[in-house]
Structure 1
Amino acid sequence: MEQLRLRTLLGDYPNTLALKRGEIASPLVSFDFDPVKTANRAFKRVVRDGAFEVAELALVTFLQAKAYGKPLVLMPAVVGAGRFQHHCLVYNAERGKLRVAELAGKRIGIRAYAQTTVAWVRGILAEDYGVDLDSIQWVTAEDGHLAEFPDPPGVRREEGRSAVEMLLAGELDAAIVGTDLPDDPRLAPVLPDPHVAAAAWGARHAMVPINHMMAINRTLCEQRPDAVREIYRMLQQSKDVARAGADTPDLTPFGVEANRHALELIIRYSYRQRLIPRCYAVDELFDDVTRIL
């Protein structure tokens, strides 16, 4: 059978590098990797243009894509390490201390309203700290990945300016910042002892939050399930290369059961934040091919 060459979006992470460097090959599939340097900058092309057969995708983006009938199926392969999120809500310490009990009425900057890191942090604020999310003035820097999901009423947009920039300028009270959180002594966490709190949260939930998994075009799943299984095998092999000899926790779990609780939780958070119309069952996110990988 002729080898499939698949349009693919995948970031550079320890668990993907062996695959992206061409160290893992297959007679069934090869990959035409998109050159974008940061995968999330191409997520709109995944859900708006159908530009890829295989794509890394943020979980809230995938959930919204499902809600709007996009032809995507989740693959239970985490790319990019999971991480705790408690430290991502920060304030400008030069302007005085901000406590979590004081968030009502405050202006909090976020990159986009439906960003997965933001959904995790808001869920933690609401469920663990009793914060009324509707009492906060959310300020976004850009629109979400799904064109069908606009910012909710009352959300303010500041195009072309990052949340950190506005926070340091005194135009915001706090900001939720993910992997691009700068090492700046002026930025202090709102949640007290965030790393201790995160460890306790992780022990209570027996998981570390995950942000990105792989998504597959539904037609590929229907027409070439052998290719889909091969993609998963290659991703697993690439991860095995990165994990060889490691004695650290696995932050890129593979398999439905290994990710079930994290998926259940981000689904619940997303529903309660009105990002999706209903609470999906985890098994609904997969099809008969990817569910048993």
Structure 2
Amino acid sequence: MSTTLSGVPVLRTNLADYPVTKALREGRIASDLMKLDFCGPTPAHNGFKAMVRESAFDAGELAIVTFLQAKAYGKPYVLLPAPISGRFQHHCAGYNLDFGHLDPKDIEGKRVGVRTYTQTTALWIRGILRHEYDVDLDRVTWMTLGDGHLAEYTDPVNCERLPKGSSIPQMMLDGELAAALLGEDMPKDPRVRTLVPDAQQAAKDWFAREGVVPINHMFVVHRDLSRTRPDIVRELYAMIADSRAAAEGVPAVFPPLGLEANRKGIQLAIDWALDQKIIPHRLSVDELFDDVTGSLA
């Protein structure tokens, strides 16, 4: 954190341009308490490793899985109850029908591609496959392109690294991978099918039952900022809320603001992260926040 000539703190901020952050990014939502320096890379997830390994930013977005790992390994960031992105994930596992129909359990014993094992989309779709379709995740060989954001973390033994420069979507289309967890990178190809049958309806049914929209990224601040300038942290939360209120094009079903409103979704992320060997021990929802951020509403 630096200061301007007038003494106003400048926060190094890693935050992408989403509908819910657009007013904030464009300066339509601003504050006299601080200035936000949007110095993070594009896409923002390219800054996550620098955030948790080097404390490169004072504030910004972080994948919920990366934050859970950061908390487990003692990194100096604290969560705000402010999701920045989230969506249903049932459609995020695909395969090429040309190589035969696949039911979810059919990926057991096969190779499935994913950018990194700890990718948040991967956490959610693997959890869906395990808990909704009884897939034994330990019997799948997860083919990855890179390591996770935390230096302390090692992938499970059933992960293998693909050669540098590999294209997971192309390998899935070519049948070199039985399936792939891809999210927005899923090829727009008529041969591609979702591994979850009728994924859109399955997501609606799941939401009707669980009442949770899976969180992708949430807003975090450096622990020192929360300790020394709680007024700035409260202001940041209010600015995020105002930016969300000004947003256009936000899905009708989107992760809400507030700790209690997100408790079930965060708990689910913790449970599934532990189950998938992504965090080394159980965390509680409340320990992800401090006295300042936990009281934001």
TM-score range, shorter chain: over 0.9
Deviation of 1:186 after TM superposition, in Å, equals: 2.2
In 2: Cα distance, 1:219 partner to 1:133 partner: 38
Match of 1:131 in 2: 135
Q: TM-score, normalised by structure 1?
A: 0.95
In 2: Cα distance, 1:190 partner to 1:241 partner: 36
Report whether the alignment pairs 1:253 with 2:250.
no
Distance 1:89 1:69, change over 3 A: same
Q: Deviations over 1:130-158 (max 9, x none)?
A: 11110001100111111111222231101
Q: TM-score, normalised by structure 2?
A: 0.94
Match of 1:269 in 2: 272
Deviation of 1:35 after TM superposition, in Å, equals: 4.9
Structure 2 gaps, min length 5: 1-5
Deviates more, 1:62-71 or 1:162-171: 162-171
Q: Deviations over 1:203-255 (max 9, x none)?
A: 11112111100111000000000011111111111111115xx8962514111
Q: Deviations over 1:235-279 (max 9, x none)?
A: 111111115xx8962514111011111001010000111111222
Amino acid at match of 2:66: T
Distance 1:247 1:235, change over 3 A: closer
Report whether the alignment pairs 1:97 with 2:111.
no
Distance 1:24 1:176, change over 3 A: same
Report whether the alignment pairs 1:142 with 2:177.
no
Deviates more, 1:196-205 or 1:1-10: 1-10
What does 1:211-230 correspond to in 2, within 5 Å?
A: 211-230=216-235
Among 185, 189, 202, which residue is 2:190 paired with?
185
In 2: Cα distance, 1:134 partner to 1:168 partner: 24
Identity in percent? 50
What does 1:74-223 correspond to in 2, within 5 Å?
A: 74-80=79-85, 82-158=86-162, 159-223=164-228
Number of equivalenced pairs: 290
Contact 1:110 1:141 (8 Å CA) reproduced: yes
Match of 2:35 in 1: 30
Report whether the alignment pairs 1:238 with 2:243.
yes
Structure 1 gaps, min length 5: none
In 1: Cα distance, 2:250 partner to 2:150 partner: 39
In 1: Cα distance, 2:31 partner to 2:108 partner: 54
In 2: Cα distance, 1:160 partner to 1:206 partner: 39
Deviates more, 1:282-291 or 1:185-194: 185-194
Report whether the alignment pairs 1:63 with 2:68.
yes
Amino acid at match of 1:262: G
